[in-house]
Copies of this chain bind each other. A is one copy, B any other.
Amino acid sequence: MAIEFRPSQALKLFHDLAFALVRDGETDLSARQLAVLLTIYLEAPPHTVRGLAAKLGVTKPVITRALDTMGRLGLLSRRRDDSDRRNVVVQRTVKGALYVERLGDMIVEKANGLPS
């Protein structure tokens, strides 16, 4: 239990974050895309389309499209699994890692600015 704060603080943090994401532009990722991206970068590999779809409770085309979009942005890449060539393994990229890292720093920064 490292982090404890009140709902009002949580909401202000979330507000500031959504606000920053909107104002910065660039990042128009949906909640689904963000969930996929963070799952890939925070949870242990390997990540497959099927696994991500099951984990998020969405259909496979949703994952395919999210990977298309974020792949186009360079935030991740795909590779066929050599041991079972039906599978596609999602791979992290340097650009994606930097993006996620920057996101984490941004949240911390907003949290530090919160009133007590």
Contacts and interface: CB of A to CB of B under 8 A. Distances in A.
A21 interface: yes
20 contacts: A1-B112, A1-B116, A2-B116, A3-B5, A3-B112, A3-B114, A5-B111, A7-B101, A10-B107, A11-B103, A14-B17, A15-B35, A18-B35, A19-B35, A19-B56, A21-B31, A22-B57, A23-B56, A29-B31, A30-B31
A91 interface: no
Interface residues of A, number: 49
Given A2-B116, A11-B100, A14-B104, 13 more contacts: A1-B116, A3-B9, A3-B112, A7-B104, A7-B107, A7-B108, A10-B104, A11-B38, A11-B107, A14-B103, A22-B35, A22-B58, A25-B57
